[in-house]
Amino acid sequence: MALLGLAHPTFQGVLAIPILEVACQNVEYVVGIGEFAGSTPQSRRATMIRNFGIYRRLAEALVGHALANCKILIFSHPASIGARVVHHFAPLLPLGNITSLTRADQDMAAFFIADRIDIELENVQNLICWGITSSIQHVDITHGWIEPNNQAVHARIGNDNWVMVELTGAIRNCGMDIRTRLLRTAYINNVATSICNHIWDWCSETPAVLQTFSFPFTPI
């Protein structure tokens, strides 16, 4: 229902296919949103093991069924590990085609930066968010610029402490608020919007802009 309400140009409808191999046949884009949830450190560990099985099964179904250049986006937390599992069990798929979702964090970071320097949100480009809603998450403005004059975000802000402490802290806290405090519908809408934006920019090949894709580059 959340996807239906977004009316995003990327989203065309829902077709339920219970057989994974059939669902993966000649597929060009895959979004992994299924997961088991865990709220405590102990349950999260067990959850990761169960989610491992989900994405191993997905990877095995993609092999021999999906298109060779299939693009994959994993949302389920921890998304970076899920993406790595898919790559491990589907090694023939290009590594750069397997990503995890950090777009919601990028959008929030762009909002806070635009608000601080009093510009339009769409003028903030090329931010990178490393990590997903955790104490080690980092907002990277090194490659960012401000349109229309391509002024460096770092130069325009001119305050490293604000970026490292206030901005990064705000992104971490907002992510946790969305996950734990807001209504479930608000959380789903946030995720759905981020997924649509991620896929839209990817398939439309937005020129000269670093999209906020997290690639699985470390070994299991």
Output the domain CATH number for residue 140: 3.90.110.10
CA distance linking residue 216 with residue 214, whole number of Å: 7
7 Rama sector, left if φ>0, alpha if ψ -120 to 50, beta otherwise? left
Say if residue 170 is in the same domain as residue 113. Answer: yes
29-32, strands of its sheet edge to edge: 29-32, 71-74, 98-101, 213-214
Q: Would you say residue 84 lies in a domain? A: yes
The answer to whether 121 and 110 have CB atoms below 8 angstroms apart is yes
Q: Would you say residue 160 lies in a domain? A: yes
Say if residue 118 is in the same domain as residue 142. Answer: yes
pLDDT given for residue 218 in this prediction: 44
pLDDT given for residue 184 in this prediction: 57
pLDDT given for residue 108 in this prediction: 85
Higher pLDDT, 195 or 45: 195
CA distance linking residue 161 with residue 175, whole number of Å: 21
CA distance linking residue 153 with residue 114, whole number of Å: 10
pLDDT given for residue 162 in this prediction: 92
Read off the pTM: 0.69
DSSP state of 166: I
Structure tokens at 48: 């990761």
Domain count, the chain: 2
Mean pLDDT in residue range 162-177: 79
- pLDDT of residue 100 exceeding 50: yes
Say if residue 87 is in the same domain as residue 139. Answer: no
Say if residue 140 is in the same domain as residue 150. Answer: yes
CA distance linking residue 213 with residue 47, whole number of Å: 24
Say if residue 45 is in the same domain as residue 70. Answer: yes
User: Coil, strand, or helix at residue 73?
Assistant: strand
Say if residue 92 is in the same domain as residue 115. Answer: no
User: Coil, strand, or helix at residue 101?
Assistant: strand
Name 118's Cβ contacts closer than 8 Å, sequence gap at least 6: none
* Residue ending a domain, choose from 101, 129, 150: 101
Say if residue 62 is in the same domain as residue 108. Answer: no
- pLDDT of residue 78 exceeding 90: no
Q: Would you say residue 97 lies in a domain? A: yes
* Strand 145-146 versus strand 124-125 pairing type: antiparallel
Domain that holds residue 138: 103-181
Say if residue 6 is in the same domain as residue 83. Answer: yes
Q: Would you say residue 127 lies in a domain? A: yes
Mean pLDDT in residue range 22-36: 85
Q: Would you say residue 196 lies in a domain? A: no
Say if residue 46 is in the same domain as residue 123. Answer: no
Q: Would you say residue 197 lies in a domain? A: no
- pLDDT of residue 87 exceeding 80: yes
